Amino acid sequence: MALKAEYSVVGGLALATMVFAIHQNATPTQADIQALPAGTPDVDAAERRATWISAGAVSLVSLLAKDPTMFVIGSGMTIAMALWTRHSNYTESVGGRFLSGPQSSAAGTGTAAGAPEMTQTEPYEMFAAGSDFDR
């Protein structure tokens, strides 16, 4: 017993919006993912978690509504968001090239990129002595 066509499409779009919201809240922003080293394992774990949550939500809502159109639209959005996040994670931000094979397995490790340089900073005091806020 499927919904009427107009309700089915609106429900599917609402489900797609829910999938988008799940991915936006469970993963870093796309700009942050692209700024990280390619193949960051934490982004992979967050993307998989968001994809599983989205798949479960799409299945549950479409089974409750007994509507295959909602399932198709929600599943399509789940796949699109997973691919978008994976593409952002495995694209090298410097050259814009996609890593594959042995490059993707070595990406994000200590051998692929050196550790960031440590910089020395001066100590900071909120209110310097002799200022108007001295007590």
* Mean pLDDT, range 82-106, rounded to an integer: 74
Position 124 in a domain: no
Query: Does the residue 131 lie in any domain?
Result: no
4-13 contact pairs (CB < 8 A, 24+):
5/69, 8/67, 8/69, 8/70, 9/69, 9/73, 11/61, 11/65, 11/67, 11/69, 11/70, 12/67, 12/69, 12/70, 12/72, 12/73, 12/74, 13/73
Which token pair is 31? 């700009």
Greater pLDDT, 17 or 6 = 17
pLDDT for position 107: 58
Q: Name the pLDDT band for 69 (thresholds 50, 70, 90).
A: very high
Least confident piece of the model among 2-16, 17-31, 38-52: 2-16
Residue 22 counted as domain residue: yes
What is the value of pTM for the model shown? 0.68
Which domain does 46 fall in, by range?
A: 5-104
* Domain-embedded: residue 128: no
Yes or no: say if 62 and 68 are a contact pair by the CB < 8 Å rule: yes
* Range picked from 19-28, 85-94, 95-104, 107-116 for highest mean pLDDT: 19-28
pLDDT at 118 over 70: no
Is 68 inside any structural domain? yes
Q: Please give the tally of structural domains in the chain.
A: 1
